[in-house]
């Protein structure tokens, strides 16, 4: 007998309230973690030894994240993070994107020209030094130039002294300035990559959806002096794996978020800036697909660019839905209203930032006009059009300096009001997020926390190999090896970890700091997470570490890599 509608509604409401109570929002810097919040919810928070270990085990890829997972410099990341580099070492006779690649031994690992990875070694807060160079009476452009010059000098000095790659980092919309010092790894070699057909199973149809069945991983190795690099820290795979309800951590390099921007900035993106970007991406999509239609080799050459462009189009389109969500945006507006009221009630804060929201609104009007003109010039090509683009670039620079200066003032006012209880927006710098394996309401039921290899083969059989240009076609190797696999091995899973683009390739860890998974996507409901975190539905999608080992051993005959990962 079916339960009554009222009973279903009440139980659903109770579930939503329980999930909301476990909100795990935040992309936290390693110097400012919500230790008490973690302990209150999960009875655990990492200590400094734990944090240093996972930080030094992590690496930054161009546009993504990764981690050392063996004593001999083996690096784990997503297939889609490594895609362009896998494509770069391919050729017409060896399409490693389509057919996959496994180096049978280290002598046949392929050097990847141009690929460099970075490990964060040290961090230093230099906010006070930078703030002092802006003299009273300077306008926004002069202050920005003075700060920029001082920062460049500090970076130059530290590069020379430290022997590391020193990079400036702006946090809290300019409220803090740091120097992050990285060790740079320039000899990186491809070790293993599954076929694109299983790494991106479901292609664009399944992108950002759940349930998911993607083996989205690849393996590289760092070398130093032509020998495998031996990192001081690397992640060990959990023997037990992860289970429903367990606490999880992601460590990676989230890209741009805009949660600390003003409401007027978000409205400018919603009404003008994002629609113009979507129009531009539409043209680019058409051009790239026209090139791909010219033949298999042309398709291989533009495959990475097509993947990036299609992903960007879907992201921005879904962000627009979030910006149009009246209830969510009302919460953002309410938080801003509360801060502005507190600023207005304090004479010192009023002097600091009382006019900042208005100044930003005025600058945004100029910015929107510049963006519209640039979009109109996009299809034109002449010398006179190039003098106007350059002029607009200078105007944009001046406008952005106003916005940046007043965002920094708002950030300092926020510190004064709320202290350091907030986390900064994503800036492609190392962050830690925490959460748990958790379901959410989906299509009238609950989302399953895990998928399995059985689900992969079921989905492939349900669609057949030719549907939607082969979007669910499995590589032949997988069909031949199906009976070798434990079909109930966990394959992908979801968690409440707060991530964004750039987190792709982040290791997912348990309380012991052991590897349990590999973050590769968010669900489509999480895309507005650029602007706000919705605890009810935001979910991180990960490849289960057990699936990676199962596939390496039983599909790819890569037992040597399994032994290395397991430390056997």
State residue 568's pLDDT score: 86
Average pLDDT on 63-81 reads 98
Q: What digits encode the pLDDT tens for the residues 394-449?
A: 888 899 999 999 999 999 999 999 999 999 999 999 999 999 999 999 999 999 99
What is the token pair recorded at 242? Answer: 């992860």
Residue 162 CA, chain-centre distance (Å), reads 29
Place of tokens 């699936």: 547
What is the token pair recorded at 228? Answer: 């495998």
What's the rounded Cα separation, in Å, for the pair 484 and 503? Answer: 32
Spatial contact of 129 and 179, defined as CB atoms under 8 Å apart = no
Domain ranges within the chain, ordered by starting residue: 5-116+186-256+433-566, 118-185, 263-418
Strand 110-111 vs strand 450-452: parallel, antiparallel, or unpaired?
unpaired
Length of the chain: 568
Better pLDDT: 52 or 302: 52
Indicate if the pLDDT at residue 14 is higher than 70: no
What's the rounded Cα separation, in Å, for the pair 405 and 174? Answer: 8
State residue 5's pLDDT score: 42
Q: What digits encode the pLDDT tens for the residues 190-211?
A: 999 999 999 999 999 999 999 9
Of 249-253, 493-497, 528-532, the one with minimum mean pLDDT is 528-532
Q: Is 426 exposed, middle or buried (0-12, 13-18, 19+ CB in 10 A)?
A: buried
Average pLDDT on 134-150 reads 88
Average pLDDT on 41-52 reads 97
Average pLDDT on 86-110 reads 96
Indicate if the pLDDT at residue 134 is higher than 90: no
Indicate if the pLDDT at residue 9 is higher than 70: no
Give the CATH number of domain 5-116+186-256+433-566; options: 3.40.50.360, 3.30.70.2970, 2.40.10.120, 3.40.50.720.
Answer: 2.40.10.120
State residue 383's pLDDT score: 66
Q: What digits encode the pLDDT tens for the residues 534-562?
A: 989 999 999 999 999 999 999 999 999 99
At residue 135, the 3 state secondary structure works out as coil
Better pLDDT: 392 or 240: 240
Indicate if the pLDDT at residue 30 is higher than 60: yes
Indicate if the pLDDT at residue 1 is higher than 60: no
Better pLDDT: 237 or 3: 237
Indicate if the pLDDT at residue 7 is higher than 80: no
Place of tokens 């400018």: 268
State residue 6's pLDDT score: 43
State residue 106's pLDDT score: 97
Global pTM exceeds 0.85:
yes
Half-sphere exposure of 219 (CA within 13 A, CB side): 26
Average pLDDT on 457-469 reads 97
What is the token pair recorded at 63? Answer: 């546009």
State residue 23's pLDDT score: 72
State residue 13's pLDDT score: 45
φ and ψ at residue 57, rounded to 5 degrees? -90, -10
Which helix (H) or strand (E) segment holds residue 374: the answer is helix 356-377
What's the rounded Cα separation, in Å, for the pair 262 and 257? Answer: 13
Work out the pLDDT band at 304, boundaries 50, 70, 90: confident
State residue 379's pLDDT score: 67
What distances in angstroms separate CA 209 from CA 257, 538, 540, 557, one per listed residue?
21, 12, 11, 30
At residue 224, the 3 state secondary structure works out as strand
Average pLDDT on 139-149 reads 89
């Amino acid at each position: 007998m079916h339960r009554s509608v009222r009973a279903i509604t009440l139980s659903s409401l109770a579930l939503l309230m329980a999930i909301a109570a476990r909100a795990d929002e935040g992309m936290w810097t390693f110097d400012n973690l919500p230790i008490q919040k973690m302990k209150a919810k999960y009875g655990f928070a990492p200590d400094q030894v734990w944090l240093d270990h996972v930080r030094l085990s992590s690496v930054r890829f161009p546009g993504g994240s990764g981690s050392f997972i063996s004593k001999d410099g083996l690096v784990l990341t997503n297939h889609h993070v490594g895609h362009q580099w896998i494509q770069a070492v391919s050729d017409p006779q060896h399409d490693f994107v389509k057919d996959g690649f496994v180096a049978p031994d280290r002598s046949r690992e392929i050097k990847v020209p141009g690929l460099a990875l970075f490990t964060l070694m040290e961090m230093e807060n230099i906010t006070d030094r930078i703030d002092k160079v802006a003299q009273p009476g300077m306008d926004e452009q002069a202050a920005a130039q003075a700060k920029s010059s001082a920062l460049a000098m500090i970076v130059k000095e530290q590069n020379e002294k430290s022997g590391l790659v020193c990079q400036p980092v702006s946090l809290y919309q300019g409220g803090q300035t740091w120097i992050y010092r990285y060790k740079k790894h320039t000899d990186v070699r491809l070790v293993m990559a599954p076929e694109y057909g299983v790494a991106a199973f479901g292609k664009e149809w399944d992108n950002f959806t759940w349930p998911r069945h993607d083996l989205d991983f690849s393996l590289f190795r760092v070398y130093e002096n032509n020998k495998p690099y031996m990192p001081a820290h690397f992640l060990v795979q959990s023997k037990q794996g992860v289970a429903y309800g367990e606490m999880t951590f992601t460590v990676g390099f989230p890209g741009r978020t805009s949660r600390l921007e003003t409401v007027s900035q978000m409205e400018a993106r919603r009404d003008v800036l994002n629609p113009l970007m979507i129009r531009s991406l539409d043209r680019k999509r058409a051009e790239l697909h026209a090139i791909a239609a010219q033949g298999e080799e042309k398709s291989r050459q533009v495959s990475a660019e097509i993947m990036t462009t299609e992903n960007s189009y879907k992201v921005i389109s879904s962000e627009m839905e979030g910006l149009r969500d009246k209830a969510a945006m009302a919460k953002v507006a309410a938080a801003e209203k509360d801060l502005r009221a507190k600023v207005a009630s304090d004479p010192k804060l009023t002097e600091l930032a009382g006019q900042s929201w208005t100044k930003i609104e005025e600058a945004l009007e100029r910015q929107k006009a510049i963006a519209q003109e640039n979009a109109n010039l996009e299809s034109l090509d002449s010398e006179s059009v190039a003098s106007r683009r350059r002029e607009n670039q200078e105007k944009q620079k001046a406008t952005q300096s106003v916005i940046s200066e007043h965002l920094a003032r708002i950030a300092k006012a926020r510190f004064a009001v709320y202290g350091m209880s907030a986390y900064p927006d994503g800036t492609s710098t190392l962050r830690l997020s925490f959460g748990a394996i958790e379901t959410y309401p989906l299509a009238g039921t609950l989302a399953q926390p895990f998928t399995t290899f059985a689900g992969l083969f079921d989905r492939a059989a349900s669609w057949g190999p030719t549907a939607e240009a082969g979007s669910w076609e499995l590589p032949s190797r997988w069909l031949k090896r199906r009976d070798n696999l434990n079909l109930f091995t966990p394959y992908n899973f979801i968690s409440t970890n707060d991530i964004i683009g750039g987190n792709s390739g982040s290791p997912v860890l348990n309380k012991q700091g052991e590897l349990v998974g590999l973050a590769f996507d968010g669900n489509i409901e999480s895309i507005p997470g650029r602007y706000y975190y919705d605890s009810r539905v935001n979910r991180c999608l990960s490849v289960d570490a057990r699936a990676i080992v199962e596939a390496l051993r039983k599909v790819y005959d890569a037992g040597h890599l399994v032994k290395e990962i397991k430390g056997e």
